[in-house]
A and B are shown apart, each in its own frame.
Chain A
Amino acid sequence: AQSVTQLGSHVSVSEGALVLLRCNYSSSVPPYLFWYVQYPNQGLQLLLKYTSAATLVKGINGFEAEFKKSETSFHLTKPSAHMSDAAEYFCAMDSSYKLIFGSGTRLLVRP
């Protein structure tokens, strides 16, 4: 069965530190993959997407993600965290014209 797993429901980093949010997928064929961000009291917003054109994908606000087929992973990174990055992040996989979401990772940024 297709699924998306996000390791770590909460990740805490210091301002200026590297952000790494982990996502693994399970699918019989390489899927399209997405990262969404949800700021407090708001809906989700598309951060970036992988659609097989390039394995390293750049998104908004300095985030990027790398698709690794051998590891079935699509981890999200940002070199230097800002306080404004504090939010919940969701990894998602395209499956038959709909998205399957992971359970989410809440990013906390310490001053």
Chain B
Amino acid sequence: DVKVTQSSRYLVKRTGEKVFLECVQDMDHENMFWYRQDPGLGLRLIYFSYDVKMKEKGDIPEGYSVSREKKERFSLILESASTNQTSMYLCASSLLGKAGELFFGEGSRLTVL
């Protein structure tokens, strides 16, 4: 069964902490994405990557960075977590040329105190 796996379902962090959210896909997909989901706002794209070591800013990249050292792994980094980054974070992947056909992980719910 093909999968996108996010390392943590629930995290609680303190303001100012560095936070790593890990995502691994086993489908050999070129594209990987990080979204945040907030009630009433839908999904907003933070960063995406279409190849190893490549990254592109999405609509809300401020306060975030990403890393893609291997094709199957895409990490989201919050250098200094703030309370307004409390959210659900969703990782997704897709084949090159099929960016609309996303496979999602189950999400990581981050609470920043």
- Which residues on A are within 8 Å of B, measured CB to CB? 6, 9, 32, 34, 36, 41-46, 49, 90, 92, 94, 97-99, 101-104
Give the nearest-CB partner of A90 in chain B: B42
**18 sample A-B contacts, Cβ–Cβ < 8 Å, listed by A number:** A6-B42, A34-B100, A42-B107, A43-B104, A43-B105, A43-B107, A44-B90, A44-B104, A46-B103, A94-B99, A94-B100, A99-B43, A101-B35, A102-B42, A103-B41, A103-B42, A104-B40, A104-B42
Q: How many residues of B contact A (CB 8 A)?
A: 24
Indicate whether B81 reaches chain A with its CB closer than 8 angstroms.
no
The 6 A-B residue pairs whose C-beta atoms are closest, nearest first, are A43-B104, A103-B42, A101-B43, A101-B42, A94-B100, A44-B104
Contact residues of A: prevailing secondary structure? strand
Cβ of B39 to closest chain A Cβ, rounded Å:
8
Chain A nearest CB from B91 CB (Å) reads: 8
Q: Mostly helix, strand, loop or mixed at chain B's interface?
A: strand
Q: How far is the CA of A9 from the CA of B42 in the complex (A)?
A: 10
Please list the residues of chain B having a beta carbon within 8 angstroms of any beta carbon in chain A.
4, 31, 33, 35, 40-45, 48, 50, 58, 90, 92, 99-107
Residues of B within 8 A of A44 (CB): 43, 90, 92, 102, 104
On chain B, the residues within 8 Å of A9 by CB distance are 40
CB neighbours (8 Å) of B101 from chain A are 34, 46, 49
Cα of A65 to Cα of B41 in the assembled complex, Å:
23
B70 to chain A, nearest CB (A): 21
Tell which of B58, B92, B104 has the most Cβ of chain A within 10 Å.
B104
